[in-house]
C-alpha cells in the first residue's frame, strides 16, 4: 500500500492541539439514543464557556466501547460542524484491532476530524514490536496528525520509552496523551523527542508541565477547563505561584471526578447543571446519591459549585 502523503510531515507546532482538551462525554437521550443536538450544545459550551482549544470525541470518556461505528461518525460530523472552525476536533479511533482502527481513522478523516487519538491496544497485550507496528500502520494510513494514548493501567501494557522515541520519527505521530503516571519516563521522552506531551491525568498537569508537557486532555475539564487553562497560561508566563494556587484550588475536582468511573460523575454534574449529558450506557451505571453528594462537595471545594 502506498500513500502520496506519507512523506509530508505535519509536526510544526509545539502545541499541535492547543493547551486544554476535554475528552467529551457523548450525550444520550433519556432512552439511551445518541443525542446529536445535545452533543452540539455541549461542544459549544466546552469551547465558548470552558475555553477548550480542542475536543476529543469518541474516547473512553465518550463511552466509545458502547457506541457503534455509525454513531461515532455522526458524532464527529456534528462536533466538527459546530465548533470545528474555532477548535480542533480529535477523534478517538483506537481499538485492539489494527485493521478496525485504520477503518475508524479513515472514517474520522472523511468526517472532518483534525486529528486522531489512538490508544494502546488493550487486553491482548502485544509486545513493544506489536505496538510500534500498530501505531505506525495507523499513522501511515491517514493524513491526520496522531496523538498516541499511553494508559497502561487500562491497556495492560505500557508504551516503553524506546518505543515512543521510535514513534516520534514518524512525521504524523506528533503527540502523546500521557496517563502512565511515570514522570521520569515522561522526562526521558520529552528530552529526546519533539513529541507534544499532554497530561492524561488532570491532577498531574502542573507537575507534568515542569518536565516538558504542553497541556492536558482532561475529564474534570468539563467543569474546570477555563481555570485549568489559566493555570497553564500562568505557568507559561513564569507565574508559578498563581499556577500552584490554581492547581491546589482545583485539586478536589481534578481527583474527585475519578472517585468512580469518570464518565458517570461528569454526566451527573452536567445533568445537574442543565447541560446535555443524559444517561450512561451499560455496563456503566448512574451515580448513586452518595456519589453525587460527594461530587457536589468536591465541586464546591474547587470553587466551582454545582447549581442547587
pLDDT > 70? residue 1: no
User: Which residues are CB-contacts of 218 (< 8 A; sequence separation ≥ 6)?
Assistant: 20, 21, 22, 23, 199, 202, 205, 224, 225, 228
- Mean pLDDT across the stretch 222-241? 98
Q: Which one is catalytic: 72, 122, 177, 267? A: 177
Please write the tens of the pLDDT for every residue from 109-149: 999 999 999 999 999 999 999 999 999 999 999 999 999 99
Residue 146's Cα: distance from chain center in Å? 12
pLDDT bracket for residue 181 (50, 70, 90): very high
pLDDT > 90? residue 105: yes
- Mean pLDDT across the stretch 251-278? 98
Beta bridge partners of 119: 149
Give the per-residue pLDDT at 279.
98
Q: How far apart are CA 252 and CA 303, in angstroms?
A: 9
Q: CA torsion, points 258, 225, 232, 203, in degrees to nearest 10? A: -10
CB crowding 4-24: b at 16 or more within 10 Å, else e: eeeeeebbeeeebbbbbbbbb
pLDDT bracket for residue 41 (50, 70, 90): very high
Q: How do the residues of the chain divide into helix, strand and coil, expressed in percent and rounded to 5?
A: 45, 15, 40
CB crowding 217-236: b at 16 or more within 10 Å, else e: bbbbbbbbbebbbbbbbbbe
The percent of residues in the chain predicted with pLDDT above 70, rounded, is 96
Helical ranges in 50-182 per DSSP H = 69-83, 98-110, 128-141, 152-155, 161-167
- Mean pLDDT across the stretch 263-279? 98
Q: Give the 3-state secondary structure of residue 183.
A: helix
pLDDT bracket for residue 198 (50, 70, 90): very high
Q: What angle do CA 66, 274, 251 make, to 5 degrees?
A: 80
Active site residue 177: yes
Q: How far apart are CA 50 and CA 299, in angstroms?
A: 15
From residue 144, give the alpha-carbon distance in Å to each of 16, 93, 271. Answer: 11, 12, 34
From residue 53, give the alpha-carbon distance in Å to each of 28, 217, 280. Answer: 24, 10, 26
Question: Which sign does the torsion angle of CA 222, 197, 153, 188 carry?
Answer: negative
Asked whether the beta carbons of 48 and 84 are under 8 A apart, the reply is no
Give the per-residue pLDDT at 10.
42
Q: Which one is catalytic: 122, 149, 198, 235? A: 149
pTM of the predicted model, to two decimals?
A: 0.95
Residue 224 C-alpha cell reads as: 474546570
> How much is the mean pLDDT over the chain?
95
- Mean pLDDT across the stretch 272-293? 98
Question: Taking Cα atoms as reference points, which of 255, 152, 264, 145 lies closest to residue 205?
Answer: 255
Amino acid at each position: 500500500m502506498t500513500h502520496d502523503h506519507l512523506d509530508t510531515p505535519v509536526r510544526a507546532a509545539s502545541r499541535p492541539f492547543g493547551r486544554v482538551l476535554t475528552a467529551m462525554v457523548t450525550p444520550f437521550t433519556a432512552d439511551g439514543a445518541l443525542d446529536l443536538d445535545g452533543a452540539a450544545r455541549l461542544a459549544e459550551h466546552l469551547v465558548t464557556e470552558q475555553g477548550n482549544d480542542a475536543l476529543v470525541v469518541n474516547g473512553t470518556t465518550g463511552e466509545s466501547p458502547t457506541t457503534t461505528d455509525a454513531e461515532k461518525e455522526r458524532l464527529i460530523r456534528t462536533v466538527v460542524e459546530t465548533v470545528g472552525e474555532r477548535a480542533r476536533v480529535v477523534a478517538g479511533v483506537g481499538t485492539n484491532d489494527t485493521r478496525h482502527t485504520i477503518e475508524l481513522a479513515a472514517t474520522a478523516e472523511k468526517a472532518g476530524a483534525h486529528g486522531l487519538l489512538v490508544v494502546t491496544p488493550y487486553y491482548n497485550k502485544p509486545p513493544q514490536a506489536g505496538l510500534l507496528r500498530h501505531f505506525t500502520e495507523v499513522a501511515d494510513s491517514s493524513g491526520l496528525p496522531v496523538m498516541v494514548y499511553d494508559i497502561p493501567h487500562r491497556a495492560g501494557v505500557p508504551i516503553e520509552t524506546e518505543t515512543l522515541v521510535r514513534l516520534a520519527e514518524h512525521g504524523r505521530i506528533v503527540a502523546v496523551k500521557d496517563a502512565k503516571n511515570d514522570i521520569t519516563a515522561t522526562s526521558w521522552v520529552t528530552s529526546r523527542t519533539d513529541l507534544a506531551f499532554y497530561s492524561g491525568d488532570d491532577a498531574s498537569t502542573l507537575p507534568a508541565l515542569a518536565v516538558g508537557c504542553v497541556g492536558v486532555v482532561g475529564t474534570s475539564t468539563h467543569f474546570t477547563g477555563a481555570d485549568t487553562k489559566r493555570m497553564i497560561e500562568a505557568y507559561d508566563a513564569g507565574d508559578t505561584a498563581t499556577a500552584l494556587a490554581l492547581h491546589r484550588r482545583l485539586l478536589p475536582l481534578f481527583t474527585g471526578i475519578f472517585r468512580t468511573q469518570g464518565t458517570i460523575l461528569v454526566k451527573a454534574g452536567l445533568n445537574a447543571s442543565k447541560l446535555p449529558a443524559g444517561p450512561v450506557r451499560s455496563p456503566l451505571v448512574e451515580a448513586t446519591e452518595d456519589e453525587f453528594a460527594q461530587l457536589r462537595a468536591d465541586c464546591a471545594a474547587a470553587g466551582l459549585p454545582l447549581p442547587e
